[in-house]
Amino acid sequence: MKRSNIKFLRRITLLLAVVMASLVTTSALAQEVARVYVQPVEAPTGQLAVDVIAENVTDMYGAEFRLKYDPTKLAVEDVNTNQDGVQIAPGSLLSPDSGFIVANDVNEAEGSIVFAMTLLNPAPPVSGSGPLARVTLNVLQEGLSTIDVERAKLVAFDLKTIPSQTEALAVGNNGQSVAAENGGEQAPAAADSAETVPAVVSEVPAPTAESSFPWWIVAAGVMVMGVLALGGFIILGGLHMRSTAEATPPVTKPTGSSANPDNRKRSRPSAFKD
């Protein structure tokens, strides 16, 4: 039984090593948080076109975001004049042919855009990077402006939220760098700029609360490892006690006169013997 105990102990050690390796891999993957940001694309003079990009997603099945812009400087161009209100164009990452647009609303007064879309069964989930939507804006007034991703929610195939962070986009005239070197403060744009096409100036990181590292994964892994180790020790101890018991022969008490010669019946001499 000693060899069996050694084999069992090796199996427990191997299992713990596999759990530890899986935990390390999961933690490494969890650090690669998805990113939602605004990226400028080529547009005619007097307009600004941007794609809302979802980067580094895994098994995504739906997405929602809210953009904020300055309505005194920019105005969203409607891509579907046959419907009431103002709409933006869906992107190619979540194909409209395989899904359903839940929300596509532009509030021109407050300068906000809400867009939400989901795939529908039997469409497979998507992984990787790509545009969620494209926004074309007309430039109403020269000067600095910011397109901010106020909120973004990415949903996986199992309906769990994909951790993500967002980044705002600062735009200016003629592609001039107007961001200060220290701390992201922006200097005024040049007054004599001849071009009116805004271009990217800087991306201002704005991590959301969902971007924090999920330490609960580490805690759960440690608990699982502890339970496995405790169970292994208990089982190993039980096997050791069982093997010891089986190796020791049972002690039986001998019975009868043959077992103990001293217990044989002896005849006492009689006092009345003739």
The reported pLDDT for the residue numbered 160 is 95
Q: Are residues 42 and 177 in the same domain?
A: yes
Which residue carries 């690669």 as its tokens? 32
Q: Other C-beta atoms within 10 Å of 35: how many?
A: 21
Domain at 165, CATH number: 2.60.40.680
pLDDT of residue 117: 97
Domain membership of residue 155 (yes or no) is yes
State whether 11 and 74 are in the same domain.
Answer: no
Residues 69 and 168 in one domain: yes
Tokens 């001998």 found at: 254
Q: Is residue 148 part of a domain?
A: yes
pLDDT at 234: 64
Same domain flag for 99 and 13: no
Q: Which residue has the tokens 């169970």?
A: 231
Asked whether residue 221 is domain-assigned, the answer is yes
Range of the structural domain that residue 180 is part of = 34-212
Domain count, the chain: 2
The pLDDT, as a whole number, for residue 215 is: 44
pLDDT at 143: 87
Q: Are strands 34-41 and 47-68 parallel, antiparallel or unpaired?
A: antiparallel
HEC-encoded secondary structure of 112-151: EEEEEEEECCCCCCEEEEEEEEEEEEEECCCCCEEEEEEE
Backbone angles phi and psi of 111, in degrees to 5 = 70, 55
Is there a single domain that holds both residue 119 and residue 236?
A: no
Contacts of 64 (CB under 8 A, 6+ apart): 102, 103, 114, 115, 116, 117, 151, 152, 153, 155
Q: Please report the pLDDT score of residue 162 as a whole number.
A: 97
Task: Please indicate, yes or no, if residue 73 is contained in any of the structural domains.
Answer: yes
DSSP tally for the chain: helices H, then strands E: 2, 11
Q: Where are the alpha helices (DSSP H) in 156-214?
A: none
Residue 9, pLDDT score? 64
Instruction: Report how far residue 209's alpha carbon sits from residue 192's, in angstroms, rounded to the nearest whole number.
Output: 41
CA distance 151 to 167: 10
pLDDT value of position 230: 63
Both 169 and 38 in one domain: the answer is yes
Output the CA–CA distances (angstroms, integers) from residue 23 to 26, 217, 227, in the order listed. Answer: 5, 8, 15
Give every residue of the chain whose pLDDT is below 70, as ranges: 1-31, 173-274
Q: What is the pLDDT of residues 240-271, one digit of tens each?
A: 566 666 666 665 555 555 555 555 555 555 44
Distance, CA of 100 to CA of 102 (rounded, Å): 6
- Residues 19 and 116 both lie in one domain: no
